[in-house]
Structure 1
Amino acid sequence: MATSTDRLQDSQSVHIIELPPDYSESAVSKTSAGSEYITEPPGPPEASSSSQEITRPLTMTRVSSSPATNFLTINRKNETVKGIYAINPTLPPPPGAVISKDNDGKDLNLSLKSTNGPVNCLVEIIKGVDTKGPARLHAESENGSVTLVIHDAQQNRFRLQAVSINGSVSIRIPSTYIGPISTMIKYGSLNIDTALRPKFQTISEIDEEGRFFLGDYISAGYENDETWLMDHIRVESHYGGVNIAFIEEDGGEKGKEASQKSFFSRLFG
């Protein structure tokens, strides 16, 4: 059973490693609701019936040595949720896994919650091809901030919801992100990093709700959330600000690696 890093020492280092080769043998595992999770060499990308699929170059660089897992739920009452979690949405659920669901009743590949503590995590999505739809991620704190880094070197699809009732929400996303970003901010402000602003389009801002698109929604084929099959981010903050930025990158692989290590050091204290 693959396990995730539940509690990390502050001194944990981040390593650049290569992904293993594709599986040579196929295996099918049954899951709840009669669905199947297939760990076989992926076929051609699925076609989109109502929105345009975006072809992106595939890279294989990882930023952590954390073992891959799927359908992971961490829910703490009076503790910080802090760590690096590698999620492979094509993996079957571990035996005895408690699978959380999103607001639409879909299984969450990762659910991180703290009642009285912050959530400070890096999430690495490591499946190779979008054979099973977007990775569904949820991070939430009732009384604490939420700081989240989504590293997606293979440029897979993901759907993220990040929520803080009494605290700020800070998200760093890949520079390859193309998709809608919606916000709900009751008492606080939205801060968009300067690197995002040339691509950040406002669709509407009405009272507490904001709707935006990062990238060119026309060339991306975006029509509405219901038919959109690609990346999507939803951020909610009741009493605190919202900050959205790209993952830090700096001049080539060595600079990029050093920048990532520096940022992770700040993230995990």
Structure 2
Amino acid sequence: MIITVDSDVKDIQQLDIIVNRATVADDPPPAYTNDSTTDNDAKSPPPPPPPGTAEPSPPPSPPPQLASVTVPPSVKPTNFLSLSRGNQPIKGTYVIDPRIKIPQFLLPALAADETESTRRNAFLHTSNGSIDVSLFVVGDGDYKQKANILVKSSNGSVVAKLHTTDTATRPPVKLCAKSSNGTVTIHLPRTFCGPVTLRTNNGAVRFSDAVAAELTTFSEAQRTRRCFVGDFSGSGWTGEAAGWRGDEVEVETSNGGIRLQYVDGAHGGETGEGGGAEGKGKNKGTFLGRLFGGL
């Protein structure tokens, strides 16, 4: 055992411990432009303009940021897609790129209302089954030919979620959705701008609150409603189908309702939306709601 003599022990509180000491020069005094300027004067707003001088207008507000569209990497793009199923539903995600060249021998036969120049970029049809698809339309600003899509069910509901990038980097889109006996729900991209034609013999037409805020209605007669979604005044659309190079949607169902809303995110739709111009959807799921066509 080692015994430490008390005289060899120093109080640690009395030790001068110096670690990495460095000499630091004194900071120079701040520069002053005017000795009479105070802090309040420095923060005071600029003087008002002379009388008779117009005040400068405030800068414009930045445009709203749209949610970016992410194309599923697991789905390869295609063109002139044709799916026809007799009694089977159609459900899935498809990426349509109108720029892709398909060998002629792989193309399906033309429909009665088609020519080679008007061949649809996507055709989905089932006789007795529902359709629930997400459609991604991609392209670039140099490709101006309209992407033509038809989704049709003879006896079944139709849900089509249309995803696109911004209008500067994609082709315009024409989407037709039809059902003889079933509801039709269309999810539009936020960049959609064009005419919308809705026909239903027995069913209600409903818009989400967000779509209703961008909606211009022109007419409703003979169970057909004609309207425009987007900036109608700045679109240049004159009401003529010929020559229109923007988006358009046509929806038709004999026995069923129609609903339009925006699609947000990669695969989802709007959340927290009400009934738009046709009501707030308070009867949804109730007996009266189903009886009177509530969606």
With over 3 angstroms needed to count, the CA separation of the structure-2 counterparts of 1:161 and 1:193, relative to structure 1, is same
SS in 2 for 1:69: coil
Q: Does 1:228 align with 2:244?
A: yes
Q: How does 1:1-269 map to 2 (within 5 A)?
A: 61-94=70-103, 95-98=105-108, 100-101=110-111, 103=113, 105=115, 106-155=118-167, 156=170, 157-224=172-239, 225-248=241-264, 256=265, 260=267
1:101 and 1:126 mapped to 2: Cα distance?
24
More strand by share: 1
2:235 and 2:268 mapped to 1: Cα distance?
32
Cα displacement (A) at 1:63: 3.9
With over 3 angstroms needed to count, the CA separation of the structure-2 counterparts of 1:166 and 1:203, relative to structure 1, is same
With over 3 angstroms needed to count, the CA separation of the structure-2 counterparts of 1:165 and 1:261, relative to structure 1, is closer
1:223 and 1:71 mapped to 2: Cα distance?
29
Contact 2:165 2:191 in 1 (8 A): no
- 2:62 aligns to what? none
Alignment size in residue pairs: 197
1:167 and 1:204 mapped to 2: Cα distance?
24
- 1:24 aligns to what? none
2:128 and 2:94 mapped to 1: Cα distance?
21
Letter in structure 2 aligned against 1:78: N
1:192 and 1:81 mapped to 2: Cα distance?
25
Gaps of 5+ in 2: 1-65, 271-295
TM-score (normalised: structure 2): 0.62
1:96 and 1:138 mapped to 2: Cα distance?
19
Cα displacement (A) at 1:60: 7.1
Point out which structure has higher relative CO (alpha carbons under 8 A, 6+ apart). 1
Cα displacement (A) at 1:209: 1.2
Cα displacement (A) at 1:182: 0.4
Instruction: Tell me the alpha carbon deviations over residues 132-167 of structure 1, each in whole angstroms, 9 at most, x when there is no partner.
Output: 411100000000000000010243210010000000
1:180 and 1:152 mapped to 2: Cα distance?
17
Instruction: Tell me the alpha carbon deviations over residues 201-260 of structure 1, each in whole angstroms, 9 at most, x when there is no partner.
Output: 101111211110012222111102223111000000100000110013xxxxxxx46xx4
With over 3 angstroms needed to count, the CA separation of the structure-2 counterparts of 1:262 and 1:171, relative to structure 1, is closer
TM-score (normalised: structure 1): 0.68
2:252 and 2:246 mapped to 1: Cα distance?
20
Contact 1:164 1:236 in 2 (8 A): yes
2:220 and 2:142 mapped to 1: Cα distance?
32
2:161 and 2:232 mapped to 1: Cα distance?
24
- 1:34 aligns to what? none
Contact 1:100 1:108 in 2 (8 A): no
| CA RMSD across the alignment | 2.2
Cα displacement (A) at 1:102: 8.0
Letter in structure 2 aligned against 1:191: R
- 2:56 aligns to what? none
SS in 1 for 2:234: helix
SS in 2 for 1:65: coil
